[in-house]
Amino acid sequence: MKINTEGLQSFIPDDTIQALLQSESKAPASRIRDIIQKSLDKHRLDPAETAALLSVKDPELKSMIFEGAHELKERIYGNRIVLFAPLYVGNECINDCVYCGFRISNQECARHTLSHDELVNETKALVNNGHKRLIMVYGEHPMYDPRFIADTVQTVYETKFNKGEIRRVNINAAPMDIEGYRIVKSVGIGTYQIFQETYHQKTYEKLHPTGPKSNFLWRLDGLDRAMKAGIDDLGIGALMGLYDWRFEVMGLLYHAIHLEDTFGVGPHTISFPRIEPAIGTEFTQHPPFKVSDEDFKLLVAVIRLSVPYTGLILTAREPIAVRNEVLPLGISQIDAGSSIGVGDYAHKDDESRKKSQFVLGDTRPLDDVIYELAKDGYIPSFCTSCYRAGRTGEHFMEFAIPGFVKRFCTPNALLTFAEYLDDYSSERTKAQGQKLIDFELSRLEDTEMKASLTEKLAKLKAGQRDLYY
């Protein structure tokens, strides 16, 4: 792959962002209320409006933003939480990102790339826990070229184990050239995710000193090239703690607007991981712009309101208490039962820590997370129906098509949840889950849908699998 940034220009207007954060810092309550209402009316916010929300300090106004984000999530997306797991394929890396345990200069990292058999075993272990959706993660290395990535995705799709299989694979890997994306697209990936890490170019260049990733523009243009290759299901993200989090949220918004303006489609998901400690990586002990839990809550709520049509991903980097607090503010997807050491699902050993990119905050098994979600009234969903029925951009459809959630998402969530309960759950989760399913059925207003779903649930009980609308 040849990196070529000729003719590329950044679409992140640093000075305008700083000026907006300054000029909008004293927006009155009436303006904040109007901005929240605009979002509830299903409009993406403009940069000045997002800057106004980001600058709020007053506790009452902050509560208003939290309530607005919660209402938007409930009203548009309902009470489902989509579950997935990360699968780390290899931690070789030629970059030197100062915050990452996989960076080339980290002598303490135990390098490993899954062999074909190991990948199959990892997949079986994940299937055996009940997973249906994965994000496959790769370091950046000539070994992990597009063909390798495509082959590994294919191996995962082909692996069946007992009653289950992985039905959707998303990717988090280095940006490619257009030809590379075409190869990866050909095996049927879901979302292609690239985090810009920081949208502040000067900071970016300081923290990514060598390797292909040191080129800010090549990375910023990474999702444009994916679009040009026909992949329109894309995830953006920023790693929180590298620069001012308010600037990063503005950067994410400008990225979304750029994709909308250029291709007519915005990002499918937004991620906002905070830096976690990584072995041999001093930088992670004291991130220069560490985001407090309180600011993190506001950050999530503001992203929810700013780009109402995207899915928001909250990872197991966050500790349980933070996850519980942030979930109601508009999160649509979480990973659960995650292991991030290469090869950890099938075989955890003493070296696992050294093969991990960082340390997780939430290490509960999948079944415990599902139990807690059901207890709190969320429907855990493993739904992959849009992807498999050729309806790309599931979150956008949920957002844009009236009645879509009621007709597709909720019934499909319940079907996949029922399948999980039958095949993989503990007795405790089964009892809690059945209560939730009964409750959700009882409040379905559409009598035709209720009858049809009841019939499909009975078919599942009788042993049929993979039923969806």
Footprint of ligand SAM (CB under 6 A): 99-100, 137-140, 172-174, 194-195, 197, 239, 273, 275-276, 278, 284, 317, 357-358
Q: State phi, psi for 208 to the nearest 5 degrees.
A: -125, 75
173 vs 436 by CB, closer to ligand SAM = 173
The contact pattern for ligand SF4, residues 40-69, with x = CB under 6 A and - = no contact, is ------------------------------
Identify which of residues 319 and 450 has a Cβ nearer to ligand SAM in the complex. Answer: 319
Per-residue binding string, ligand SF4, 166-205, x by CB under 6 A, is ----------------------------------------
Binding of residue 374 to ligand SF4 (CB under 6 A) = no
Does residue 139 contact residue 90 with C-beta atoms inside 8 Å?
A: yes
Binding to ligand SF4 in span 199-218, by CB under 6 A: 213
Residue 113's nearest CA partner among 64, 158, 148, 71 is 148
| Shorter beta-carbon distance to ligand SF4: residue 97 or 313 | 97
Q: Give CA–CA dist 87/346, Å, rounded.
A: 11
Residue 267 CB, nearest approach to ligand SF4 (Å): 19
Q: How far is CA 239 from the centre of its chain?
A: 12
Residue 236 vs 379, nearer CB to ligand SAM: 236
Structure tokens at 168: 């959707």
d(CA 187, CA 189): 6
Q: Which stretch binds ligand SF4 (CB under 6 A): 39-47, 96-104, 281-289, 431-439?
A: 96-104
The minimum distance between CB 212 and ligand SF4, in angstroms, equals 8
Q: Per CB under 6 A, which of residues 327..346 are in contact with ligand SF4? A: none
Beta carbon nearer to ligand SAM, 194 or 302 = 194
What separation in angstroms does the CA of 117 have from each of 93, 122, 131, 133, 159? 22, 9, 19, 20, 11
Q: How far is the CB of 211 from ligand SF4 (least distance, A)?
A: 7
Q: Pairing mode, if any, of strands 164-165 and 160-161?
A: antiparallel
Cβ nearer to ligand SF4, comparing 132 with 213: 213
Choose, by CB under 6 A, the member of 140, 244, 335, 398 that binds ligand SF4: 140
Q: Among residues 388, 1, 9, 398, which one has the least CA distance to residue 229?
A: 1
Phi-psi label, residue 110: left if phi above 0, alpha if psi -120 to 50, beta otherwise? beta
Measured from the CB of residue 153, what is the shortest distance to ligand SF4 in angstroms?
Answer: 18
Residue 172 interaction partner, one of ligand SF4, ligand SAM, none, beta carbon < 5-8 Å per kind: ligand SAM
- CB under 5 to 8 A by kind: which of ligand SF4, ligand SAM, none does 103 bind? ligand SF4
Interacting residues with ligand SF4 between 99 and 118 (CB under 6 A) = 100, 102-103
CB of 90 to ligand SAM, least distance (A): 10
Asked whether the beta carbons of 320 and 369 are under 8 A apart, the reply is: no
Nearer to ligand SAM, 68 or 139 (CB): 139
Q: Tell me if residue 188 falls in helix, strand or coil.
A: coil
CB 273 within 8 A of CB 239: yes
Task: Identify which of 56, 50, 44, 58 has the alpha carbon closest to the alpha carbon of residue 16.
Answer: 50
Q: Considering only residues 391 through 450, tell me which ones interact with ligand SF4, judged by CB under 6 A.
A: none
In whole angstroms, what is the distance from residue 391 CA to residue 385 CA? 8
Burial state string for 330-349 with b = 16 or more CB within 10 A and e = fewer than 16: bbbbbbbbbbbbbbbbbeee
Nearer to ligand SAM (CB atom), residue 133 or residue 317: 317
How far, in Å, CA of 306 to CA of 202, rounded? Answer: 25
Closest CA to 235 of 247, 250, 218, 222: 222
Q: Is residue 139 within the footprint of ligand SF4 (CB under 6 A)?
A: yes
When CB distances are held under 5 to 8 angstroms depending on the partner's kind, the choice from ligand SAM, ligand SF4, none that residue 276 binds is ligand SAM
Q: How far is the CB of 276 from ligand SAM (least distance, A)?
A: 4
- The terminus-to-terminus CA distance of the chain in angstroms comes to 41
Which spans of this chain sit near ligand SF4 (rule: CB under 6 A)?
93, 95, 97, 100, 102-103, 139-140, 213
